[in-house]
A and B are shown apart, each in its own frame.
Chain A
Amino acid sequence: MNIEFLTFLRREIYRFMVLYKQTIVPALLSSLLYILVFGETLGNKIPKEYFATSYMSFIVPGLAMMSVITQSYQNSASSIMQAKYLRFIEDILIAPLSGLQVSLGYIIGGAMRGLICGWAILVMCIIMPNTDFNVDNWFLTMLYLLTVSWTFSAFGVIIGVIAKSWDEIGSFSNFIFMPMTFLGGVFYSLEMLPNWAQNISLINPIYWMISGLRYSTLSIEEISNVTSLVICLSFSTLFTIIASYLFKTGYKIKS
């Protein structure tokens, strides 16, 4: 790895670390509130047999994934948008960095933020009193967190490059990821849904991602864990190739 790329990567990580009160803390706080409010209020009323664990533990992987998705996407999309808006993206475009290096710098930066948030939520839930949540397979868990944060960070790069306004970036988050996540089984098991709704859930990639993390943490396998991993890896690879191509050609960022 050369100094040029490592410096850029350091800049991207340093950016969200410096702004941790805006980037890390709110994500942890909102997840904590979800867990406490939903877990405590609803959890006590739902029989444990439905989920093979307590309801509070059941929703943890979904909430961690929700945070990973939002944070990794927001990081790369807003970093690029800000750099475009204030024109300091030019410093990166004129630097001796290839399109692949620039896209990887943004992607890894965003993925790190997602990974940190996801990991911190899981750890927070393990050490929280009154929960029986635990991580059964840390290696697989980190692999899921990494591939999903990588996927959405790469998608954030694509949208960051293409978007003309902050509005467009927010729209993806509010109108696409948020519904897909909520309908991806964060708060319920697939078995609780009618057949038609189950079939719809199965075409939602976020459902597979959440299920994968639920398997790696709680060993609950509703659908194939291997397919979940393949989906995560496929999307992360596809979006990385597209993001890299955009920077290589300068689409929408070079005249």
Chain B
Amino acid sequence: MNAIEISSLKKTYDTGDEALKGIDLNIKKGSFFGLLGPNGAGKTTTIGILTGLVNKTSGNAKILGYDIINDFKLARKSIGLSPQEINLDVFFSIRQILLFQAGYYGVTQKLAEKRVDTILKKLDLYHKKDETSRHLSGGMKRRIQIAKSLVHDPPILILDEPTAGVDIELRHMLWDYLKELNNSGKTILLTTHYIEEAEKLCDEIAIINNGEIIKQGETKSIIKEVSLNTIEVEVDKPSNIKLSDDFDFSIIDNIIKIQTKEVNKEITKIIKEIEQTTTISNINIINSSLEDAFLKLTNK
């Protein structure tokens, strides 16, 4: 059984905007899954439908086999959501917010107290437990959002831009924590604008654009399949260069940039051809990234 199963999911808003055009998506249990896409692609709408914030137009979605409409209570109990926008209650202390949050999911007061304190310590927020959210920094608020998603110990975490607006140090700390949670067996669905984040954390990704899934698969495979590596060769006399038509290359000053999928296979041939006409002074290999693949797939 998959953690999340989405089939033919459509959403058309009252304004007529077709946010989702019938997407299909399966997310395996225990995976760290990245849902990537430009602004307005349909990421938050998808998450909204899964969690009950957005009414679907048609199609189906299941969380651990529970239908999000017919078995909505069981489906929602299986999910912890950290939404993109900070949405903290202003009336209560941080600890009280988290205790209420746990209670909304059926966690007893005694267990909730124990769990909330553990999470606050883990996220380095225990010293702020009696403060209200008004007195917290942006990074702290972001951590509270993540804490809220964890207090009922759900098997699936949905994190919508969990590191948006936080500094590098905190981002790395959160990455480590999210990895730890994933290693402990939690399935994580992540949306992010930081492609580096997805590349580092996600074992599988889907790229969504204009309400359609345009690519889904293992992160490494997508990078390999979609984007090209670049070999930069610095030469003495670039004007003399003659390379066979097999290569996609460009020359800027005295640097030849050759794009290829198979660096190891092609590099010997490239060096041989260039050395026939000029002398090589330096070679630099730039591996393709998820960002390249993302930009290529979304035509950015």
Contacts and interface: CB of A to CB of B under 8 A. Distances in A.
Interface of A: 2-4, 6-8, 10-11, 14-15, 18-19, 82-83, 86-88, 90-98, 249-250, 254-255
A3 B103 contact: yes
A86 B55 CA distance: 21
Contact of B74 (A92, A93, A96): A96
Interface of A is mostly: helix
B13 A94 contact: no
B91 A95 contact: no
Nearest to A2: B106
A96 B105 contact: yes
A63 B50 CA distance: 48
B107 interface: yes
A87 B91 contact: no
B48 interface: yes
A86 B76 contact: no
Given A3-B106, A88-B89, A92-B104, A255 B72 contact: no
Contacts of B92: 14, 18
A250 B54 CA distance: 8
B85 interface: yes
Contacts, number: 79
Interface size classification for chain B: 20 to 34
A19 B105 CA distance: 26
B103 A7 contact: yes
Interface of B: 13, 45, 48, 51-55, 72-74, 76-77, 79, 81, 83, 85-92, 100-101, 103-108, 148
Given A6-B103, A11-B100, A92-B104, 15 more contacts: A4-B104, A8-B104, A14-B92, A90-B83, A91-B87, A91-B148, A94-B81, A95-B76, A95-B105, A96-B73, A96-B104, A97-B104, A254-B54, A255-B48, A255-B53
Contacts of B108: 3
B76 A254 contact: no
A91 B73 CA distance: 14
B256 to A, nearest CB: 52
Contacts of A93: 52-53
Nearest to A83: B89
B94 to A, nearest CB: 13
B15 to A, nearest CB: 10
Contacts of B79: 94
B55 A96 contact: no
Most buried by A among B53, B55, B77: B53
Nearest to A7: B103
A8 B99 CA distance: 11
